[in-house]
Amino acid sequence: MTTSANVVRKGNILERFRGGTKGRRPFRFNLATMLVIPYVIAVTLFSFGPFVVALVFSFSGFSAGKPELFQAGFKNYIDVFSDPQFREAYWNVIRFSVMATISGFIGSVGIALVLSLTRDRIGTLARSIFFLPGSINGAALALIFIFMLEPTVSPFGFILRALGWEKISDYVKSSNAILLMTVLRFYLTTGGWIAIFYSALESVPIELVEAAKIDGCGPWQLSWHIRRPVIMGFVWFMVIQLIAQNMMIFGEPYIINTALGGTSFISPYWSPNMLGSFYTLRLGNFGMSAVVALSQVLITISSSIFIVTKTGAFTTQLTD
Amino acid sequence: MERTLPNPQGRRGFSAWLKHWMFRTGIDPFTYLIRLAIILIMVIFFVVPLIWLFTATTKTNDQLIHLPPLAIGSLSYIKKAWDYIMMFYYGVAVHWVFNSFYYVIIGLMLSMFTAVPAGFALAVINFRGRKWLLWLTLLVMLVPGDALVLPMYIELFYMKMIDTQWALIIPAASYPIGVYLVFQYYKSALPADVVAAARVDGCSDLQLFWYIGLPLARNIIGVLAFTNFANLWSNFFAANLFIDNTYLKTLPAGISVFISNCSAIIPGPIPCIHSPDGHYIGRAEVALLGVISTLPVLIVFALAQRIVIRGTTAGAIKE
């Protein structure tokens, strides 16, 4: 039965198609969309594309080198989750992430607050110096790190020898790999964050600081109660970023494993990304590698949603 | 017995100086010393390994063990070390350096080509799907690139790009962080009344981008170039996974080939190269490759602080 209401609704559809309804933007090809098309294509192919590919291949099998889409069911998932190396890889990076994130948090916030106790050239110079290690790529950093651990050539060798360690194998073992990787990550990431926090702390209004001093705040209280809250937005962002980056670790353990060969304290499957590349390159099993990648994406997407929803950092721009 | 009289003037001078100093710095001397000590320890921690890396390139393997760790050996040894590196795979290291610059420069240009117009459009033009695109950009930019490398390998494999230079160049076009930075930049640097005035004068959206957006983009392009240069240069996971051909590798990925073939870190039974003078590739050569791979980003980082500040403070009206 055609009611008058339906007729009106149909009319509305036609109106919309013609672009005449009030309150709705009429459809028209805007030349300005050309500005976003290259980006939309790129992001679809290389940011969303890999995710879709991973999803499809995680359920796919292979026969004679050709993919059989959606034929494997949950086999790849079962194979990966029952692989003890997968569990070990995740156990490694979870412990590593916790240690590296906590040390990164304490180190960067603490040192930035100490730097900001007063404003002088030493603080500015230190900020610039701390910024530099971030310029080292993972491969070079792993090399430096191996040399720093080698008592015969390390500038810290006198400390290592004083502790009774004459060669690298005396104390660098797989049991303390997580601690060593944490030190390495601390070196790489903390300086950059200190520089960012210190710059943010310099923006604290001088009137606010003076008012707190008049109220009887000492330098440490000023740092903790007045300056620290200013950078907390950045700090939570850093924490989530650090967790994501630490979970993805590949370059440094890979180079260490390659450089030390048989004597390495890092196994070739130490992190999920190392294991995933082993599935891809050595086994040629794209399905299992896709499952590893999906597990990584799941973790990082969760972090992203956590940032956007909990911190509200981007709400103002989006609601403009 | 000769006695020296206290100098009230001097004492008053010191205490006045101390009071003035405390007023100026806002902290007492003890706190200042603690701050100084912490800074010193951290500077040693951050800088000594870097200095060591640079000085290691001037020493032979023997000198690395017998000279003090931060001592400089002989500057002429850098040239020798480079010559030894050049004996490896017929000078493949030159290809690695060239490839790194080539991939990074083309990748940078591609990322600018997509990010600047898109960021401008998101900030200034109200088109359908704008909000969705912005949300998706935010979500994607928070996913680290390394999380997508494995499935991207599969994608590129079926696009027949694996083991070609395009595997490292084309994906650089997707640069969501850059889009977000450009978006933020135009939001703050381009006042709404400038846009409105341009529209009243009959500017179309494309003209708005061409005549107002692009001239203003110089600062943000500097910021993007700095941040993305470091990212693209340091990209190890993708470079290692996507490229198998030794001559197409980037420098960071090449280092991995170098050390796995040469037993240079932990001397193995078969060194990869014996030069005519009996030298084999060792730690100094590896350190030199490490320095070469670090230097471009180090220079960019040293220059970048000023660019970042300029990029974030400059705006349409101030200019």
d(CA A150, CA A152): 6
**Residue spans of alpha helices (H) in B87-217:** 92-124, 130-141, 149-158, 166-169, 176-189, 192-200, 205-208, 214-216
The answer to whether residue A317 scores a pLDDT higher than 50 is no
Domains held by chain B: number? 2
Check whether residue B212 and residue B251 sit in a common domain. yes
Contacts of A42 in chain B (CB under 8 A): 114, 173-175
Contacts of A240 in chain B (CB under 8 A): 142
Q: Is residue B222 part of a domain?
A: yes
Q: How far is CA A306 from CA A102, A261, A299, in A?
A: 18, 40, 11
DSSP string, B41-94: HHHHHHHHHHHHHHHHTTS-HHHHHHS-TT----THHHHHHHHHHHTGGGTHHH
Check whether residue B189 and residue B223 sit in a common domain. yes
Check whether residue B95 and residue B66 sit in a common domain. no
The answer to whether residue A8 scores a pLDDT higher than 80 is no
- For residue B243, give the DSSP letter: -
Q: Which of B27, B60, B84 is the last residue of a domain?
A: B84
Whether residues B252 and A128 touch (CB distance < 8 A) is answered with no
Q: Kindly report which listed range (A120-124, B6-10, B222-226, B266-270) carries the lowest average pLDDT score.
A: B6-10
- The alpha carbon dihedral of B83, B85, B91, B95 has a sign of negative
Q: Does A224 touch chain B (CB under 8 A)?
A: no
- Between A276 and B139, the higher pLDDT residue: A276
Over range A252-269, report the average pLDDT. Answer: 84
B117, closest residue in chain A (CA to CA): A35
Check whether residue B236 and residue B150 sit in a common domain. yes
pLDDT in tens, A50-80: 989 999 999 998 776 678 888 888 999 999 9
Check whether residue B125 and residue B218 sit in a common domain. yes
What confidence score (pLDDT) does residue A13 get? Answer: 47
Over range B113-135, report the average pLDDT. Answer: 90
Q: Is residue B180 part of a domain?
A: yes
Strand partners, B274: B280
Residue B96 is part of a domain; what is its CATH number?
A: 1.10.3720.10
B129, closest residue in chain A (CA to CA): A33
d(CA B282, CA B80): 12
Using alpha carbons, select from A264, A265, A259, A288 the residue that is nearest to residue A276: A288
Residue whose pair of structure tokens reads 């430096």 in the numeric block? A144
Q: Is residue B21 part of a domain?
A: yes
Check whether residue B99 and residue B144 sit in a common domain. yes
Strand partners, A311: none
Q: Is residue B58 part of a domain?
A: yes
Confidence of residue B246 (pLDDT cuts 50, 70, 90): very high
For residue B11, give how far its alpha carbon lies from the nearest alpha carbon of chain A (Å): 26
Q: Is residue B3 part of a domain?
A: no
Confidence of residue B168 (pLDDT cuts 50, 70, 90): very high
Q: Which of B40, B68, B84 is the last residue of a domain?
A: B84
Check whether residue B169 and residue B240 sit in a common domain. yes
The answer to whether residue A11 scores a pLDDT higher than 50 is no
Question: How buried is B150 (Cβ within 10 angstroms: 0-12 exposed, 13-18 middle, 19+ buried)?
Answer: buried
What confidence score (pLDDT) does residue B267 get? Answer: 60
What confidence score (pLDDT) does residue A137 get? Answer: 85
Name which of B32, B151, B268 is nearest A50 (Cβ-Cβ). Answer: B151
Q: Is residue B138 part of a domain?
A: yes
Cβ neighbours around A287 below 10 Å, total: 26
Contacts of A128 in chain B (CB under 8 A): 302, 305
Check whether residue B113 and residue B257 sit in a common domain. yes
CA–chain centroid gap for B138, Å, is 22
Whether residues B209 and A153 touch (CB distance < 8 A) is answered with no
Question: How buried is A66 (Cβ within 10 angstroms: 0-12 exposed, 13-18 middle, 19+ buried)?
Answer: exposed
Q: Is residue B197 part of a domain?
A: yes
Q: Is residue B2 part of a domain?
A: no
Q: Which of B36, B52, B84 is the last residue of a domain?
A: B84
Residue B166: domain span: 88-313
For residue B5, give how far its alpha carbon lies from the nearest alpha carbon of chain A (Å): 37
Mean pLDDT, all residues of chain A: 82
Over range B200-212, report the average pLDDT. Answer: 88
Check whether residue B38 and residue B116 sit in a common domain. no
Name which of B114, B147, B236 is nearest A42 (Cβ-Cβ). Answer: B114
List domains and CATH numbers for chain A: 89-310 (1.10.3720.10)
Confidence of residue A242 (pLDDT cuts 50, 70, 90): confident
Contacts of A187 in chain B (CB under 8 A): 45-46, 49
What confidence score (pLDDT) does residue B1 get? Answer: 46
Check whether residue B101 and residue B227 sit in a common domain. yes
Confidence of residue B264 (pLDDT cuts 50, 70, 90): low
Check whether residue B38 and residue B117 sit in a common domain. no
The answer to whether residue B117 scores a pLDDT higher than 80 is yes
Confidence of residue B152 (pLDDT cuts 50, 70, 90): very high
Cβ neighbours around A273 below 10 Å, total: 28
- The alpha carbon dihedral of B24, B27, B33, B35 has a sign of negative
Check whether residue B99 and residue B162 sit in a common domain. yes
